[in-house]
Each structure stands twice: as C-alpha cells, then as structure tokens.
Structure 1
C-alpha cells in the first residue's frame, strides 16, 4: 500500500470524494526542471507523493518524478540482489552518436531538429541515455540523474513477462495455441474462455481492456481498474478491488486476432499464467530463470500489488546499465553480462519471425501512437510484448513518460533511456536513427 495516509484514505474516504480530489488536483501539477532533483528530493515533495492520487502519479509532474525514482518507498517490493560477480561493460566512446539529429515530435516545446547531445541538454525531462555495442558503452549521459540511481522502466519491462512465458513454451509446459483457461482454471466460465496464450502475448485478445489516453483515466474502464487495484486505490464506484478479480471481470469486445490492442492487464495475465504453471510467485520465477544469471551492478526492484503480484507490465526499477543488461540478453553479447544463455535462439526467432501484419498493429489505438513516437511507420508490427519489430529484426519497447528499450540483435546493439515526460515524447525519436546510422554495421 502507498503509506499510512493512503491506506487510511481507502477506508475513511468515500470513493466519490477521492475522485473529486483527483480532478481538482490534476489541474495543479508542478513541473520543476529535473536538474533540481539530481542530489535528492525535498521533504515536502515526498509528503505530496505519499498522499498522491492515481492521476498525479502518472501525469509527468514533480510527483511522477519522485515516484519514478523512489517507487520502492510506496509499493511492496521484491528485491533481487545480484547473484553473480559484476560483469562490467567495456568502454569505447563514440562521440558521433551524440551528433545524430532528428525531427522532434509535433507536441515538443523545443525547437528542432536537434542532435541527441542537444536534446539531452535542453529537455527538462531527459534523465539518462545509454548505448551499448558488442558489450561496450559507446555513449552514456546522465544529465538529470546519477548513474547509480534506480528508475522505473514503466512498460519497457513488459518483455520480462513474455520471456518467462517463452521459456515455459520452449520447455513444453505451456501450449501457446491452447486457451489460457487451460492453465488459469479459475478464469473458466468468463469471457477469457477461448483466448489463447499467443493472443495474450501479442495483445490480440479482443478483450475490452485496451489502454488508451482516455481509458487510463476512466474509472469505469477495466484498464483504469487494473491500475487502481495494483496500487490499492479505491475505484470511484467499486471501492478497493483485487487485480485478479478485475481481470476476471473483463468483458469480450471482439473476436481475437483482429487488431493489436495494447493493455497492461494482458501482461499481468502472463504473470498469473507463469505463477500457475510454476506454482511459485513471479519474482522468484524471474529471479531463478533470468536475473540470477546476470552479472548486474545493483539489485533489481520488482514492485507489487498489495497482495503480492508483481506488476511486471511496468513497475520494475533498476539503474540504467542493468536495464541495458536485460536488453543484452537478446544479443550475441549476452555472454559478456550473463553466465548462461537466457534468451535462446528459438525464443528470439519466435519474437522476430512470428510477427503479425502492419495492418494488424495499425488497427489498434497504439499503432498510430508508435508512428508518432518513432517518427516513421517502416516497422512491421508488435510481437510478444515488444511494441515494434522492424524488417531487419530490430526490436523496441517504450514506456510511460518516455522510457525506452531498443535491441538490435544483428548489430549487437542495445539502447536504453529514462525520462519523466508525458508532454514531449521526442526521446523515442533517436534510437532507430542511431541503430541505422551505419556506425554499427561494420
């Protein structure tokens, strides 16, 4: 739960009052330049965040900045310490990476085009940017945070869930073409009947829980209820709900397979699936199968619902280099940061070759969003919790407030970045041009 004040409010405030407070406070979000917080946050901001409502946490202001860097102070958190000795990244600086120039998104208040160096210097929301090629850091900047600081990955963490499921598929423990209710038996008799694990992996279920700019802030929508349940916030009319119950109540909207409909609730279905098949909690599954193999610099923080379900769709925190190490598991340089191959060739092949059509991804709300974020539409589609797969096999996963994970297996390249910005998503624009710049094709 989010501290004593929030827990108390759950029980003593009527949900209608909470909702009214949210709408009133939403208009007064503060946006202090992040430079002011590099060496720590003021006490008053900590107090404000502890008493924050749903809207404030995710709108991109000062409270969002605090939460992004200090999520473990507000949510139950499983700490995965490094199991291996640190496997350090090499260093081969390439200043030319910072000279890559792009047009900014249309909503940007900055005047573009800008180089990456210029953008990081001028954007109040840009915190850190890292490029790793063949296990070597070629570009690294921390304009508004410290290298050792933890930061929430937001939705860039979704592939952690699909990776575990893909491992279980490879081991024959899950049939991805069977109904997910074969394993989640308590979901039988709901609208989840007939929905396959493959459809959940690709966010192609036709279930009515799509995340959009409207649904995330509509108290009657399943998408909003998923987030409220994860934080222990009371819903406007239903009070405090449990995540599993909210997911069970999801109604069917369309037949599966028609369109990409982005939903964090679908990632959480994968978490529940893994727990059911392995008869274990997800943080222990992920630790055993993935993180214990990595020579990380620091602990990985997995933030949980009040009843202990890891919110793998977005609430995972680490420093930036360890974020990159996760991405490196998908590249030939995995052996430089891990003692065992975690992402097998078979799994990587499924992600890159089992891609649906461009028309499929563009049929959902987020297809056009990805075009705007990335500045182009030359990608194929999403795949297995990755937002975008390009014809050359490169992969990208974005997150709320402009977090990003870009992996190019063929170039042995990983690009990761942290931001606190919901008003300007230009931070996404640089990864693909950097990867295709020719610097890494030798």
Structure 2
C-alpha cells in the first residue's frame, strides 16, 4: 500500500486513541510519515547486565480508571496488563531490569511526548554557547513571527510551557477541529482540517492567538516544543534532524537507528514522533547521568545544563494552576514534586526528572542515583504504568 493511501485511510482519532490501531502505528510510524534515519556513528556501546529481580517485586497502586485489581507489583502489572509493551531500568550503565511482554527488544516504538527534552537539550546547548538568550523574546530569533501575538514571549517561557498562548493540549483540544492544538497535529500528518483543509505547521503556529500574559501558569503544549525546533533551525541554519544528529546522536553508541518522523514539509515532529528501540531510549536518558561516558563519546548534557533544569524550576503553585498539573499528579499518584522545567514534566526536590508521553510512555532520570527508567505502553485510559518509576527510584535499592 502506498504511503499516501495509508495516510489517507488513517484516522487521526484512531491513531491516538490507544488499542490495536495505535499499537500498530506506534511501532510502524515510518510507514505513515516521512522519516529521517539517524544511524549510530560510533558503533554499539553495549550496556552491562546486572539483574535485580527485586525491582519486579516493587508494588504500586493503580489509577482509578484501571480495569486491573491493584495494588500490583511491577512483575504482576506487566504480566496482567494487555497494553504494557516493555519496561527497562538501567543503573550505572547496567541493565538491572528488562521485560518485553508485548514487544521485541529490536522493535522501534514511539516515545511520544517523552521526546520533548530532545528539543530543549538542543536549545540549552545553544544557550551555553551564547547563541540564544532565553530571557529574550523568541521573535528575536524567529523574525517571521514578529508582529504576531508571539511578540513578548520569552524563550524561557516557551521552554517551560508558560507562553500564555492559546494552544494548550488537553483531552478536549486534541479532538476539537477548531483548536490550534488539533490543527498542529493535523498539519504534521498532512491531514485536512474539517474547515481549513491541509495546513502548513509554521502557518498554524503563527496564527496562534494570545490567551494571557506569559509566565502565569503551566499550559502544556506540543506546539511549544515545535517552536523550539523552529528556533533551533533559525539559529543553526540546518534542519532539526541534522542539528540533533551533529550535536547529540552522532556521539551515542546506539544499538539501532533513531527515527525522527517529519511533517510533509520536512520539519521533525520532535514533540513526540520519535522512535527507537527501548535500550536506545534509555541511552538518551543516560546522557543526563554520570554514566554518560558508557554510551557516548562526548558529554553532550553538561553539568551546567542539568543545573539549569534544576535551578530554574518554577513553583508547585505555578504548575498546578494549569490543566496538566493535576493530570500529572494523578498519573504519578502524588504531588510531592516541585514543578515542570524546560520540557520535563516533573522535577522532584532530590533532582530526579520525569517526562511522560501519550498512551503512557515514560522517561525517568535520576542523575544522583545514576538511574534511568524507560517504558512503553499503548493506553490512553489506564496510566498506571507511570506509577512505578518513582517508587523504583526511591525504593532504597539505588542509594549511594
């Protein structure tokens, strides 16, 4: 079947609802969208192996929407769930827990929004190099956005999803054809909007109206991540997949290729349409840990960048003032975090970081514990898969 026909037959709602069509889409996105392939340029830098079966005995309460009866241990959850795809824990460069109940280790799977820190990492590198000042309006660098409501929105406000622009992702906006958030997704797939036809992503973003003054509250938006992609392209003068390859992925000794899926006009949908094997997903997380040298030839996430993520975190009140603050608290089963920061959904007082994704993907990084936890799921109703990572990290198994 030709790509154009597959895309035409694919239904936006069906692809992102969860269930079998979503499961197929999650592992075969390159059949639907143009894709930039980033190979490993360093050869494989293998992870060690030091199994800790006690991780599977860690127990968590399930979300209220779950059809399973909890609490369940991680082993029980992965066995009983019909949507948990894979789970991996890496400590000090060693695989300590790895299970693939509904996926093969060599399969590629979408990271969904867990990919968003990729975009902020590139901008943070540019900030460290003096190429970008995050206190400046983003229109300083993106001149074709000048004269639009984006004037006055700082790069930092975009990084922290505090832009005040009306393009927030919610369970309603994603399926409202008149909403900018929905139009962003449709433009990325080349799907026609019900009233506007096929739109260009950059034009959709330029048309975003203002909702409130910047910096008031956390309003989660994939469109803001795409603004960072466009910003990086303006500053470095290359397409984003070339930028990310040169700055980050070419330094990583990955096991498979990294797939960056593109809009019809060649823009990487770095807010979530990124695919890899689970172990390479973990390798990205390891760039933020002391064990970066076990999977990369250069330190691409500097100590300065990690400190910036932690030091410049906003308040819990700021995060909870937005729609998704309470959503993330429910996903995680607690509100013991500080707030979001620089495209990471949650920063805890101990410096741990978490980024979730649609259909319950997850990336958890604990720099202090030298720990990375990644997982794939295909469910938009039961988000119980998020509840194990923090419990694993704080179980006492990984304290110095």
TM-score above 0.5: yes
Normalising by structure 1, report the TM-score.
Answer: 0.90
State the distance in 2 between where 1:147 and 1:370 align: 28
The Cα of 1:137 is off from its aligned counterpart by 0.4
State the distance in 1 between where 2:265 and 2:327 align: 33
| Cα RMSD for the two superposed structures | 0.8
Asked if the contact 2:283–2:295 (Cα under 8 Å) also holds between the matched residues in 1, the reply is: yes
Task: Give SS of 2:121's match.
Answer: helix
Moved segments of 4+, more than 2 Å: 2-7
Asked if the contact 1:357–1:380 (Cα under 8 Å) also holds between the matched residues in 2, the reply is: yes
The reply to whether residue 371 of structure 1 matches residue 329 of structure 2 is yes
Asked if the contact 2:229–2:240 (Cα under 8 Å) also holds between the matched residues in 1, the reply is: yes
State the distance in 2 between where 1:61 and 1:232 align: 23
Task: Give SS of 1:127's match.
Answer: strand
The Cα of 1:213 is off from its aligned counterpart by 0.3
State the distance in 2 between where 1:296 and 1:97 align: 25
Q: Structure 2: which 5+ runs fail to align?
A: none
The Cα of 1:72 is off from its aligned counterpart by 0.6
The reply to whether residue 281 of structure 1 matches residue 239 of structure 2 is yes
Count residues with an aligned counterpart.
399
Task: Give SS of 2:309's match.
Answer: helix
- For 1:310, the equivalent position in structure 2 comes to 268
The Cα of 1:52 is off from its aligned counterpart by 1.6
State the distance in 1 between where 2:347 and 2:148 align: 32
Task: Give SS of 2:388's match.
Answer: helix
Asked if the contact 2:286–2:372 (Cα under 8 Å) also holds between the matched residues in 1, the reply is: yes
State the distance in 2 between where 1:65 and 1:102 align: 25
Task: Give SS of 1:79's match.
Answer: strand
State the distance in 1 between where 2:94 and 2:31 align: 33
Q: Structure 1: which 5+ runs fail to align?
A: 10-50
The reply to whether residue 52 of structure 1 matches residue 16 of structure 2 is no
Task: Give SS of 2:376's match.
Answer: strand
1:418-429 paired onto structure 2 within 5 Å: 418-429=376-387
- For 1:259, the equivalent position in structure 2 comes to 217
Task: Give SS of 1:139's match.
Answer: strand
State the distance in 2 between where 1:5 and 1:375 align: 42
Q: 2:309 aligns with which of 351, 355, 361?
A: 351
Q: 1:320 aligns with which of 278, 298, 312?
A: 278
1:105-144 paired onto structure 2 within 5 Å: 105-144=63-102
Task: Give SS of 1:302's match.
Answer: strand
1:386-405 paired onto structure 2 within 5 Å: 386-405=344-363
Asked if the contact 2:6–2:32 (Cα under 8 Å) also holds between the matched residues in 1, the reply is: no
The Cα of 1:6 is off from its aligned counterpart by 5.7
State the distance in 1 between where 2:3 and 2:295 align: 36
Q: 2:118 aligns with which of 155, 160, 164?
A: 160
> Looking at both structures, which has the greater relative contact order when contacts are Cα pairs under 8 Å and sequence separation is at least 6?
2
State the distance in 1 between where 2:5 and 2:109 align: 24
- For 2:299, the equivalent position in structure 1 comes to 341
Deviations 1:228-262 (A, max 9, x none): 00000000100000000000000001001110000
Q: 1:145 aligns with which of 103, 115, 123?
A: 103
The Cα of 1:95 is off from its aligned counterpart by 0.4
The Cα of 1:5 is off from its aligned counterpart by 2.3
The reply to whether residue 235 of structure 1 matches residue 193 of structure 2 is yes
